[in-house]
Amino acid sequence: MCGIVGYIGKRDVAPLLLEGLQRLEYRGYDSAGIVVTSPKAAGLKMVKAKGRVRDLEAKVPARFKGTTGIAHTRWATHGAPSDLNAHPHMSADDKVAVVHNGIIDNAADLRRKLEADGVEFLSETDTEVLVHLIARSEAQKLEDKVRETLRLIEGTYGIAVMHADFPERIVVARNGSPVVLGIGEKEMFVASDIAALVAHTRQIVTLDDGEMATLKADDFRTYTTEGTRTTAEPTTVEWEAASYDMGGHDTYMHKEIHEQAEAVDRVLRGRIDDRFSTVHLGGLNLDARDARAVRRVKILGCGTSYHAGQIGAQMIEELARIPADAEPASEFRYRNAVVDPDTLYIAVSQSGETYDVLAAVQELKRKGARVLGIVNVVGSAIAREADGGMYVHAGPEVCVVSTKCFTNTCVAFALLALHLGRTRDLSVRDGKRIIEGLRKLPQQISEMLEREEDIKKLAAQYADARSMLFIGRVRGYPVAREASLKLKEVSYIHAEAYPASELKHGPLALIEPALPTVAIVPDDDLLEKNRAAMEEIKARSGQILAVAHQEQEKADHTIVVPKNEDELDPILMGIPLQLLAYHTALSLGRDIDKPRNLAKSVTVE
Ligand code: F6R
């Protein structure tokens, strides 16, 4: 989705901002723009371009100097991708420039009023109303002009504002769309994502909803939209700039798939308690008594995180014997769900900023529920809104499609299930068994990844398919769902996941040689049932690729996955299917890291 980056200091701002925009490219965008000035300059200078950051760079003139600037990558919502619709937007007198992430719900209304008052709009965007309102404000200070404008706005925003009459400051505000300040030595940065900051500073301040900030080269201050000062202690981010590099891989997706052994090692580190065969999860803010009082668990997330939640729900039911289920947060928030005080709600999100998940958390909190967050990005909105939770410590995930965060989230759920189980009836022996299984995971993931060449060959054989069916049963079903999502996202091949148990209730009608089926076949108590499903497909001349713990006679091909404990098997079974999706997309020449129409962090509805 859209990205913001801004700088104020002594350095030449344009190259810095262009580099910042490149770091945000992974979020998905269709146009970009930049505006700069300096205390000595006469006014603001702006360049915008449809297309990539490199297209913008090519348009920036040699003499485009300044020491204050803001820049943006836009992901079209109101109005098609074009030079005019790209941000920044500037007022008619060229004095005010704004970049904006989010959606202004009452933009059409405000636009009508402004047009009736003689204001001419240059773009079709909702953002442009902000610029005109700020420019027309009669307040003396830039902060007050912005504040007055925000009072008229309904919707979500992360904004950065510059004004030709105040070249020594940038004013920013947040409501529902992330804004992070980067604190440097006699220089300040702002961005919508720490990815754009970490090359310059690891000291950050994350704004809350309803908060604004003024950045000057040697100072920043934060305050509410009502003007009350807020305290903002900078925190240090652990992620290094190098974590955002491709590290010798051709794509981020490939790099991130290969980082999984190390990432899983990180989510486990320091959390295992061998003495009591359990885990320490201090951040949950849930003591043993609270944990025992939980009567249900409800997990909320979107897309891949929702699938990780489905795996998590099963682990919680199996290990802690607490009824648990997962639901898309995007649905939950609109159905006036019954909120039960004895239910533990868990919000799952890699980015910690997905609007649907955040809105579900806010609705739950409003109704008095206890909400935990399972999140990757430290300090993100969902992490801060939740009553407690766990970080999955996967490191930055740059590819739009999620791989290592999915795996680490599943492992985080295994830790939580073990913790809840050991406050209840899970025996010491079972606790030990799960811990041993968890400890084996990094090594088994590495073994799995060593089979990449075989999976690549299989991908070449299936890349011609127009559609693919993924089936699994109980533990295997969420794995099938996630694998089917991965394949469609990166390869654009239609894929559908079904419980294997439901085959004869409908989808069997689709089976023919041209529709390959990927069957998830763990060696557990449902093995024979899964074999029977494969028989049914084979009897109708369907092709089968099995993901199993041993060669499957009924399958045309089998990817053999190392066996772990039954409860943990779904974690490993997802990994070869990430590689299958990756190599299928590669052989079809797809834009793997930035699939069409998708964005990394969905901060709008
Ligand atoms: C799929 C994918 C998306 C995200 C979803 C939620 O590969 O990445 O389905 O999982 O948009 O995002 P987060 O986890 O950031 O809340």
- Tell me the per-residue pLDDT of 522-555, one tens digit each, with 9 for 90 and over: 999 999 999 999 999 999 999 999 999 999 999 9
Of the three residues 220, 242, 264, the one that is the final residue of a domain is: 242
At 191 the pLDDT is 97
Q: Which ligand 1 atom sits nearest the alpha carbon of residue 351? A: 15
| Per-residue pLDDT band at 602 (split at 50, 70, 90) | confident
Ligand 1 atom closest to 302 (CA): 6
Residue range 84-101: average pLDDT? Answer: 93
600 is a catalytic site residue:
yes
Domain assignment present for 71: yes
- Which band of pLDDT confidence, cut at 50, 70 and 90, is reported for residue 604? low
183-230: per-residue pLDDT in tens? Answer: 999 999 999 988 899 899 999 999 999 999 999 999 999 999 999 999
- Single pTM value for the model: 0.88
Q: Is 366 helix (H, G, I), strand (E, B) or coil?
A: helix
Q: Is residue 603 part of a domain?
A: no
Which domain covers residue 435, as residue numbers? 245-450
Query: Do both 356 and 466 map to the same domain?
Result: no
How many structural domains are present in the chain?
3
Stretch 368-386: mean pLDDT, rounded?
93
Residue minimizing CA distance to atom 9 of ligand 1: 303
Mean pLDDT of 446-463: 96
Do residues 251 and 367 both lie within one domain? yes
Tokens (6 digits) for 493? 């091949």
Query: Which one, of 337, 338, 343, lies nearest residue 316 by Cα?
Result: 343
* Mean pLDDT, rounded, for 390-413: 96
pLDDT tens-digit map of 252-267: 999 999 999 999 999 9
Q: Which pLDDT band, with edges at 50, 70 and 90, does 177 fall under?
A: confident
Q: What is the mean pLDDT of residues 338-363?
A: 94
Q: Tell me: do 522 and 380 sit in the same domain.
A: no
Looking at the structure, do residues 75 and 138 belong to the same domain, yes or no? yes
Taking the centre of ligand 1 as the mean of its atom positions, its distance from the CA of residue 339, in whole angstroms, is 25
What does the alpha-carbon distance between residue 73 and residue 31 come to, in Å, rounded to a whole number? Answer: 6
The reply to whether 202 and 309 lie within a common domain is no
Q: Give the pLDDT score at 81.
A: 86
Say yes or no: 446 and 456 in one domain.
no
- The answer to whether residue 553 sits within a structural domain is yes
* Average pLDDT of the residues in 147-154: 96
The answer to whether 71 and 33 have CB atoms below 8 angstroms apart is yes
The verdict on 231 and 111 lying in the same domain is yes
Task: Output the pLDDT for position 76.
Answer: 82
Nearest ligand 1 atom to alpha carbon 405: 14
Question: How far is ligand 1, taken at its centre, from the CA of residue 228, in Å?
Answer: 35
Co-location of 209 and 252 in the same domain: no
Domain assignment present for 227 = yes
- Across 428-446, average pLDDT: 98
pLDDT of residue 91: 94
Q: Do 102 and 19 share a structural domain?
A: yes
306 and 210 within one domain = no
Out of 19-33, 86-100, 574-588, pick the least confident: 19-33
Catalytic residue of the set 2, 302, 405, 410: 2
- Cβ pair 156, 117 in contact under 8 A: no
Sign of the alpha-carbon dihedral angle for 194, 198, 202, 204: negative
The first and second tokens of residue 67, run together, are: 């020491």
- Which is nearest to 433 in space by CA: 234, 246, 238, 277? 277
- Whether pLDDT at 233 is above 80: yes
Q: What is the whole-number distance in angstroms between the Cα of residue 252 and the centre of ligand 1?
A: 16
In a 10 Å sphere around its CB, with 0-12 CB exposed, 13-18 middle and 19+ buried, how is residue 155 labelled?
Answer: middle
Residue 394 has pLDDT above 80, yes or no: yes
**In this structure, what token pair is assigned to residue 372?**
């935990």
Residue 28 pLDDT greater than 80, yes or no: no
User: How far is ligand 1, taken at its centre, from the CA of residue 330, in Å?
Assistant: 12
CATH number at residue 140: 3.60.20.10
What's the DSSP call for residue 268? H
User: What pLDDT is attached to residue 195?
Assistant: 87
pLDDT beyond 70 at 1: no
Query: For residue 604, is it within any domain?
Result: no
Give distance in angstroms: CA of 599 to centre of ligand 1.
9
Residue-wise pLDDT tens digits, 111-147: 999 999 999 999 989 999 999 999 999 999 999 999 9
Tens digits of per-residue pLDDT, 31-56? Answer: 999 999 988 877 999 999 999 999 99
| 271 and 371 housed in the same domain | yes
Reply yes or no on whether the pLDDT at 175 is more than 90.
yes
Proportion of the chain above pLDDT 70, given as a percent:
100
Q: Residue 400 C-alpha to ligand 1 middle, in angstroms?
A: 8
For a pLDDT cut of 90, what percent of the chain falls above it? 86
For residue 357, which atom of ligand 1 is closest to its CA? Answer: 16
What is the atom index within ligand 1 of the atom nearest the CA of 400? 8
Other Cβ atoms closer than 10 A to 359: 18
- Ligand 1 atom nearest to CA at 306: 10
Q: Which two tokens stand for residue 165?
A: 């009459």
The beta strands (E) that lie in 492-566 are given as 494-499, 517-521, 544-548, 557-560
CA nearest ligand 1 atom 16, residue: 349
- Name the domain boundary from 212, 242, 272: 242
Check whether residue 371 and residue 502 sit in a common domain: no
For 405, the enclosing helix (H) or strand (E) is helix 404-422
Cα(303) to ligand 1 centroid in Å equals: 5
Considering the domain boundaries, does residue 283 fall inside one?
A: yes
Catalytic residue among 255, 298, 404, 600: 600
Distance of CA 508 to the CA centre of its chain: 35
Pairwise pLDDT comparison (242 vs 204), residue with the higher score = 204
Known catalytic residue at 410: no
User: Which of 177, 330, 351 has most ligand 1 atoms within 8 Å of CB, for mutation?
Assistant: 351
Last residue of a domain, one of 217, 242, 267: 242
Q: Answer whether residue 459 is part of any domain.
A: yes
**Cα(343)–Cα(440) distance, integer angstroms:** 32
State the average pLDDT for the chain: 94
From 391, 402, 408, 484, the mutation candidate for ligand 1 (largest count of ligand atoms within 8 A of CB) is 402
CB-based pocket (< 6 A), ligand 1: 302-305, 349-351, 354, 357, 401-402, 489, 601-602
- Lowest mean pLDDT across 213-217, 235-239, 291-295, 382-386: 235-239
Joined tokens for residue 297: 């668990």
Query: Mean pLDDT lowest for which of 44-48, 276-280, 305-309, 332-336?
Result: 332-336
| Inside any domain, residue 605 | no
Looking up residue 557, the CATH number of its domain turns out to be 3.40.50.10490
Q: Which of 350, 382, 400, 577 to mutate to test the pocket of ligand 1 (most atoms within 8 A of CB)?
A: 350
